[in-house]
Every structure is written in C-alpha cells, then in structure tokens.
C-alpha cells in the first residue's frame, strides 16, 4: 500500500446552462481524495450534486472548474480502471447474464477465451453461478443488481463507483446484497482498491463506509466529514452505531451557513422547475404535521424522537420532513422539525380548509405545479397531456426522475384539488378553472 491517492478532486466545480441563459451552479469547491482500502460515502439530500460528482469521476462529464486525477493522471473521458454500478441496473434485456457481463470487457479487445474466463469468474464471485444463460426478465431485482456488480467488476477496476445501488431493491434484498458486498470487500476477494458510494440513506452510509462526506445543496458542496472506525461487520443496534447515525443526522439538518455567492438562503432552497421531487404522499405529510402539532411536541419535535414514536426509520421520515420544509409548512434544523404558522393552521383545520391551504402552498412553492396549473388555465380546453410536461422535464433530468417528479405533482395536485389527472388517457384537466 502506498499513500498517494487513487483518485483526487481539487477545487472541482460544475455548472449547467439554464434555459434562460444563466448558469445553474451544481457543485462548488469539491476537494476529495480516495485512498487505497477506503469506502467513501457521499451522503446528502436529493439534488445536492452527488450523482454529478460521480459522473465527473467516471469521466462521463467534464468539470467547469478545478481538476480530477486518477492514479495521478488527469481524468479525460472514461478510464478502464474506474467502473460504475447504477441504481437502475442498466442491463440489456435482450442479452443473457453472461453476455451482459462480458459486455463490460468489450472495449478491452481481449481474446474470447479470456473474456469467457473472466466473465464466468465475476458471475461466480457475485453469487450468480448457474444463471449465466438467464435473461434479465427471468431474474429478481436483487439478482439483476448482482449482474450490475459483475459487469462492473469484470474489468478489474481500481475504483468502483456506486450510485444508490441498493435503493431500487426491497429492504431484505438490499441488506443481503450489502452484506455480501462487504464480505467480499473485507476478504479482499474483489479486484477493487477503493469505493465511492452515493446514498441518501444514513444507516447505509454508517454500515458500509470508512468516511462519510455530508453534502449540502445550492450549490452542492461538502459540509462535513465523519470518520467511521467501527470494525466490520457492523451491528446496526450497537449504541456507537446509533450515535453515529444520530450525529450525521444532526449534521444533515444543521443550521446552514450562508454561502458566499449562492445568493439565497438554503433553509428554503429556491426550487427550479427542473428539481426532482420526492415520492411522499399527502397522507404522510398531513400525518407528520398532525403528530408534530400534537402534545407532547406542540409544534416542535426532535426528529429521531418523533420517528421512533411513529415507528418509522429516520431515513423514511426524512423525505417527509424535507417535503414539508419545501412547502413551507415546517423548518428542519439541528435535528428538529418545527411547524410554521401555516403548518400549525393546517394541522388544526378541517378537511376542506386543509385542501385550500395545501393548494396555496403547492402553487406558490412548487414551480412545476404552478406551471401545470398555468398551462391548464390558459388553454380553452383546460386539458394538457402528461407527455408534454415529461418532455419539458427531460431537459433537466433523466426519464426516470421526470416520471417520478410528475407523479409527485399529480398526487399533491389531486389532494389539493388544484387540477385533476386521468390515468387512463394520461391527461391533466381543470375542474374549476379560474
Ligand atoms: P443528487 O444525485 O445529489 O440527487 P444530481 O447530481 O443528480 O443530485 O443533481 C444536482 C442538480 O443538478 C439538480 O438540481 C439537477 O437538476 C441538476 N442537474 C444534473 N444534471 C443536469 C444536466 N445534465 N443539466 C441540467 N441540470 C442538471
Ligand atoms: Mg443522484
């Protein structure tokens, strides 16, 4: 082992052009070094630039400022020593497991005997022995992600990048895959020397990583670094494990310092129309407001405390709290959630008034909902196809994120009765035009 970094980011910044011609600053002043033997976790809320940083490291995109190095050399395009595992598995449905894995080696021009040997070894290592000729549709989600891992490992990369690799899996499957991965890593059975794991799950970060970097948003940057020195295998119930989860939790909800040049306060980050929205039902939003408004909290609750009262995991409650903050019904800070005046008013109101309050906040603070409503208002037919909004969103985000984001706006809009949506013909409409 030597102590020059496997990978190094120095003062890396990234911005994207916005439709109005100005720049959206997504990452600022990123400094990061990955050393041999480390698993680094990038933890942060949705939109804080984690995937963007991973794509820069993978050579799939270029920084707007600063530089990145792999084994001391500038990263310019995809390097064969860096592989990536995606949340969505990204397998080819018409290829078998073997062919999907072997595809990882295509760029390397190896003899076919060698391709076969290495592909079978990777398939075996990751627990897919016997499934070589199966097609992805014949496999469970967990098995498909194992194919994703095998394809990344078959090139014998130095660095493995993982972008929320477990978040599309059910709880038990995800845990099995994490444990299997950690076993292979601890036993040194994988060719990789260092790992960067993107996650928005605090427990996953503490379970798997040696260092956790907490990202802040607008612009994305590193707020703090937490070292996790607990020996592997780690036990989620261990008090020191719980302490770390709680500590990171507080870091993630810390009072934000105002960033020079960011031009706005992060407490209520200004959403753009292209922001990815979370999947949180209006029931959960109303339920959390009610619980925080009631005794013993009376409007202000410690989130870990209220999570355990509601028998929810912090990681499940967090998106709900974040959404309330986005809608200005609450502020999340220092590990607490505090209802705003309107949040209290909502909790105390009857159903019809709740819908009115919710509609006002939805159309004021979620630009995409306001956009949908405006389009419907302006058209004589008061109708608009879903595909039109999907097309607009895809200028800013992936197809998957666009679908998810539009689903959120459909659910909230239905609850608020701000507009209607017909699933059968994928059409928005207005029941009571202004
Ligand atoms: P995370 O992975 O932390 O959820 P991302 O890196 O995906 O965050 O996105 C950070 C921000 O950058 C978001 O506001 C997103 O909309 C924006 N963004 C990402 N990729 C692009 C792109 N190609 N064009 C414009 N904006 C983008
Ligand atoms: Mg991401």
- Which ligand 1 atom sits closest to the C-alpha of 55? 6
> Looking at the predicted structure, is the pLDDT value of residue 261 above 70?
no
Instruction: Decide whether any atom of ligand 1 lies within 6 Å of the 370 Cβ.
Output: no
Over residues 337-369, the pLDDT tens digits come to: 999 999 999 999 999 999 999 999 999 999 899
Work out the average pLDDT over 403-407: 93
Q: How far is residue 306's CA from residue 298's CA, in Å, rounded to a whole number?
A: 12
For residue 148, the tally of other CB atoms under 10 A from its CB is 23
Q: How far is residue 396's CA from residue 368's CA, in Å, rounded to a whole number?
A: 12
Over residues 84-93, the pLDDT tens digits come to: 998 887 899 9
Cα(174) to centroid(ligand 1), Å: 25
Instruction: Decide whether any atom of ligand 1 lies within 6 Å of the 48 Cβ.
Output: yes
Instruction: Decide whether any atom of ligand 1 lies within 6 Å of the 49 Cβ.
Output: yes
* Phi, psi dihedral angles at 282 (to 5 degrees): -65, -30
- Which ligand 1 atom sits closest to the C-alpha of 275? 16
Work out the average pLDDT over 366-382: 92
Give the residue, 253 or 73, on which the prediction is more confident. Answer: 73
pTM of the model: 0.76
User: Do 291 and 309 form a contact (C-beta atoms < 8 A)?
Assistant: yes
Instruction: Decide whether any atom of ligand 1 lies within 6 Å of the 397 Cβ.
Output: yes
Q: How far is residue 26's CA from residue 128's CA, in Å, rounded to a whole number?
A: 38
Over residues 58-88, the pLDDT tens digits come to: 999 999 999 999 999 999 999 889 999 988 8
- Which ligand 1 atom sits closest to the C-alpha of 49? 6
- Which ligand 1 atom sits closest to the C-alpha of 42? 3
Instruction: Decide whether any atom of ligand 1 lies within 6 Å of the 274 Cβ.
Output: yes
Closest CA relative to residue 14, chosen from 4, 5, 24: 24
Over residues 231-246, the pLDDT tens digits come to: 999 999 999 999 999 8
Work out the average pLDDT over 209-220: 92
User: Do 248 and 211 form a contact (C-beta atoms < 8 A)?
Assistant: no
Atom 16, ligand 1: residue with shortest CA distance: 275
Instruction: Decide whether any atom of ligand 1 lies within 6 Å of the 94 Cβ.
Output: no
User: Do 333 and 340 form a contact (C-beta atoms < 8 A)?
Assistant: no
Boundaries of every domain in the chain: 7-252, 282-429
Q: How far is residue 410's CA from residue 402's CA, in Å, rounded to a whole number?
A: 12
- Look-up: residue for tokens 């209006």? 282
Cα(163) to centroid(ligand 2), Å: 7
> Looking at the predicted structure, is the pLDDT value of residue 315 above 90?
no
Q: Could you tell me the end-to-end alpha-carbon distance of the chain, in angstroms, rounded to an integer?
A: 69
Confidence grade of residue 416 (pLDDT, cut at 50, 70, 90): very high
Strands 23-34 and 39-43, by their bridges, are unpaired
Atom 14, ligand 1: residue with shortest CA distance: 47
Instruction: Decide whether any atom of ligand 1 lies within 6 Å of the 405 Cβ.
Output: no
Q: What pLDDT, on a 0 to 100 scale, did the predictor assign at position 265?
A: 42
Question: In the numeric block, which tokens belong to residue 166?
Answer: 């477990």
**Mean pLDDT of the residues in the chain:** 90
- Which ligand 1 atom sits closest to the C-alpha of 17? 25
Over residues 274-302, the pLDDT tens digits come to: 788 888 999 999 999 999 999 999 999 98
Beta bridge mates, 332? 337
Instruction: Decide whether any atom of ligand 1 lies within 6 Å of the 268 Cβ.
Output: no
Confidence grade of residue 1 (pLDDT, cut at 50, 70, 90): low
Instruction: Decide whether any atom of ligand 1 lies within 6 Å of the 52 Cβ.
Output: yes
Classify residue 220 by its DSSP letter: B
Atom 15, ligand 1: residue with shortest CA distance: 47
> Looking at the predicted structure, is the pLDDT value of residue 263 above 70?
no
Alpha helices in 3-140 (DSSP H): 50-57, 97-102, 112-125
| Residue 420 to residues 293, 365, 393, 433, Cα–Cα distance (Å) | 30, 19, 19, 11
Q: What pLDDT, on a 0 to 100 scale, did the predictor assign at position 269?
A: 54
- Which ligand 1 atom sits closest to the C-alpha of 198? 2
The CATH number assigned to the domain with range 7-252 reads 3.40.50.300
Can you say how many angstroms the Cα of residue 212 is from the centroid of all Cα atoms in its chain?
A: 15
Burial group, residue 346, by CB count within 10 angstroms (0-12, 13-18, 19+): buried
Closest CA relative to residue 268, chosen from 340, 368, 335, 351: 340
Helix (H) or strand (E) holding 337: strand 336-339
Confidence grade of residue 268 (pLDDT, cut at 50, 70, 90): low
Ligand nearest to C-alpha 215: 1
Q: What pLDDT, on a 0 to 100 scale, did the predictor assign at position 264?
A: 40
If one residue of 30, 393, 396, 401 were mutated to test the ligand 1 pocket, choosing by the most ligand atoms within 8 A of its CB, it would be: 396
Work out the average pLDDT over 167-189: 92
Instruction: Decide whether any atom of ligand 1 lies within 6 Å of the 218 Cβ.
Output: no
> Looking at the predicted structure, is the pLDDT value of residue 157 above 70?
yes
Instruction: Decide whether any atom of ligand 1 lies within 6 Å of the 26 Cβ.
Output: yes
Cα(232) to centroid(ligand 2), Å: 27
Q: What pLDDT, on a 0 to 100 scale, did the predictor assign at position 251?
A: 83
Q: What is the CA radius of gyration of the chain?
A: 23
Cα(46) to centroid(ligand 1), Å: 9
Helix (H) or strand (E) holding 415: helix 399-416
Q: b vs e for 218-234, b when ≥16 Cβ sit within 10 Å of the residue's Cβ?
A: bbbbbbeebebeeeeeb
- Look-up: residue for tokens 């199966």? 134
């Amino acid at each position: 082992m030597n102590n020059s970094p496997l990978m190094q980011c120095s003062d890396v910044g990234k911005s994207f052009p916005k439709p109005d011609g100005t720049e959206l600053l997504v990452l600022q002043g990123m400094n990061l070094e990955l050393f041999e033997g480390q698993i680094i976790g990038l933890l942060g809320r949705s939109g804080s630039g984690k995937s963007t940083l991973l794509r820069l490291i993978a050579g799939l995109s270029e920084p707007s400022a600063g530089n990145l190095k792999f084994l001391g050399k500038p990263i310019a395009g995809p390097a064969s020593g860096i592989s990536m595992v995606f949340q969505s598995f990204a397998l080819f449905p018409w290829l078998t497991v073997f062919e999907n894995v072997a595809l990882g080696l295509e760029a390397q021009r190896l003899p076919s005997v060698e391709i076969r040997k290495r592909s079978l070894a990777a398939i075996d290592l990751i627990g897919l022995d016997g499934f070589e000729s199966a097609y992805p549709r014949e496999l469970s989600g967990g098995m498909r992600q194992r194919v994703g891992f095998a394809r990344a490992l078959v090139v014998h990369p130095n660095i493995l990048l993982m972008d929320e690799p477990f978040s599309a899996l059910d709880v038990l499957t995800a845990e099995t895959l994490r444990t299997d991965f950690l076993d292979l890593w601890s036993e040194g059975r994988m060719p990789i020397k260092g790992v960067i794991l993107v996650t928005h799950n605090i427990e996953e970060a503490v379970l798997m990583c040696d260092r956790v970097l907490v990202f802040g948003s607008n612009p994305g940057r590193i707020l703090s670094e937490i070292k996790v020195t607990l020996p592997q295998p780690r036990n989620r119930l261990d008090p020191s494990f719980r302490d770390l989860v709680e500590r990171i939790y507080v870091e993630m909800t810390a009072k934000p310092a105002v960033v020079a040049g960011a031009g706005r306060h992060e407490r209520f980050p200004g959403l753009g129309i292209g922001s990815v929205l979370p999947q949180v039902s209006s029931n959960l939003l109303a339920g959390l407001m009610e619980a925080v408004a009631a005794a013993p909290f009376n409007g202000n609750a410690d989130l870990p405390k209220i999570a355990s009262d509601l028998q929810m995991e912090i990681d499940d409650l967090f998106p709900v709290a974040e959404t309330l903050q986005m809608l200005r019904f609450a502020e999340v800070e220092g590990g607490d959630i505090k209802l705003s005046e309107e949040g209290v008013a909502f909790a105390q109101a009857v159903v019809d008034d709740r819908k009115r309050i919710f509609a006002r906040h939805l159309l004021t603070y979620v630009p995409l909902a306001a956009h949908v409503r405006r389009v419907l208002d302006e058209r004589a037919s008061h109708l608009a196809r879903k595909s039109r909004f999907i097309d607009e969103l895809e200028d800013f985000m992936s197809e998957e994120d666009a679908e998810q984001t539009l689903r959120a706006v459909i659910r909230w809009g239905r609850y608020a009765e701000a507009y209607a949506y017909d699933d059968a013909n994928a059409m928005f409409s207005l029941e009571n035009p202004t």
